[in-house]
């Protein structure tokens, strides 16, 4: 290989930095479409990191992981979502959030710092050559995905939050060993696709019944709302 390992490491660190940036942007974005685009970029960065680590560790398994990622997340997931959901969901501009965006971003920042501290014991327990920035950044991606899941009140962005959590877990996982079994990645990738499919169908049903995908409005019963409107309660 003509490229020296240190340059590969530097490029991998760069992919990590951009990965963290997409995770933050996913918390900050207001549009469903933007959320999906950011997820696609994040998956591409994950694949790039897998390829770079494959070069650095000299592992063929990681190449397989990268290829599976490259096919499943940026291509198949958007296709499934497009087929199962109506285009009305994509064209909506604003997403409901339980918190406003500056507050969300501040919490997201605290989560990212926390994940760096969380990564220290993990990094101390592995061999020195596997200590890379992937672990804290992947953990941050995991936590930020979970946070997105918690504050969003719209079904599709919540689904993307779950997928972002998976991305984060993988981003951390691929750097920790040379021989990540390919079967694990295959299983999880197909699991993710099934998840997208099932949630897509569920969202479609919710939309047909209620006329909207705002999960935040599902907290109270329809009759309750009607009674309250009439001033009975």
- Count of residues that interact with another protein, criterion CB under 8 A: 28
CB 189 within 8 A of CB 74: no
**14 lines the binding site for another protein (CB under 8 A):** yes
Beta bridge partners of 214: 154
**105 lines the binding site for another protein (CB under 8 A):** yes
CB 108 within 8 A of CB 147: yes
Instruction: Find the binder of another protein among 5, 17, 58, 216 (CB under 8 A).
Output: 17
116, two tokens: 């760096």
**116 lines the binding site for another protein (CB under 8 A):** yes
Binding region for another protein (CB under 8 A) out of 7-15, 31-39, 86-94, 169-177 = 7-15
Distances (CA, A) of 101 to 27, 152, 158, 179, 189: 8, 11, 16, 40, 31
Given phi > 0 = left and psi -120 to 50 = alpha, else beta, which region is 92?
beta
Instruction: Find the binder of another protein among 55, 64, 136, 138 (CB under 8 A).
Output: 136
**137 lines the binding site for another protein (CB under 8 A):** yes
Nearest CB to another protein, comparing residues 10 and 79: 10
Angle among Cα 43, 167, 38 to the nearest 5 degrees reads 45
In the complex, the residues that contact another protein under the rule CB under 8 A are 6-7, 9-11, 13-14, 16-18, 20-21, 24-25, 28, 101-102, 105, 108-109, 112-113, 116, 119, 131, 133, 136-137
């Amino acid at each position: 290989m003509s490229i020296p390992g240190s340059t590969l490491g530097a490029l991998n660190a760069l992919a990590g930095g951009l990965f963290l940036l997409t995770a933050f942007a996913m918390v900050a974005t207001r549009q469903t479409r933007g959320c999906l685009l950011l997820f696609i970029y994040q998956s591409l960065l994950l694949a790039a990191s897998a390829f770079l680590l494959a070069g650095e560790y000299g592992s063929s398994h990681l190449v397989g992981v990268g290829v599976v990622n490259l096919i499943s997340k940026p291509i198949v997931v958007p296709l499934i979502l497009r087929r199962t959901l109506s285009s009305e969901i994509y064209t909506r501009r604003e997403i409901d959030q339980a918190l406003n965006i500056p507050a969300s971003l501040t919490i997201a920042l605290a989560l990212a710092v926390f994940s760096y501290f969380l990564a220290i014991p993990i990094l101390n327990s592995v061999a020195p050559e596997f200590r890379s920035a992937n672990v804290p950044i992947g953990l941050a991606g995991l936590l930020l995905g979970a946070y997105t899941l918690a504050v969003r009140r719209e079904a599709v962005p919540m689904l993307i939050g779950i997928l972002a959590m998976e991305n984060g877990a993988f981003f951390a996982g691929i750097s920790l060993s040379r021989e990540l079994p390919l079967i694990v990645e295959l299983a999880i990738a197909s699991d993710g696709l099934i998840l997208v499919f099932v949630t897509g169908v569920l969202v479609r049903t919710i939309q047909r019944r209620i006329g909207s995908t705002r999960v935040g409005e599902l907290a109270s019963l329809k009759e309750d709302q009607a009674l309250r409107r009439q001033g009975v309660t």
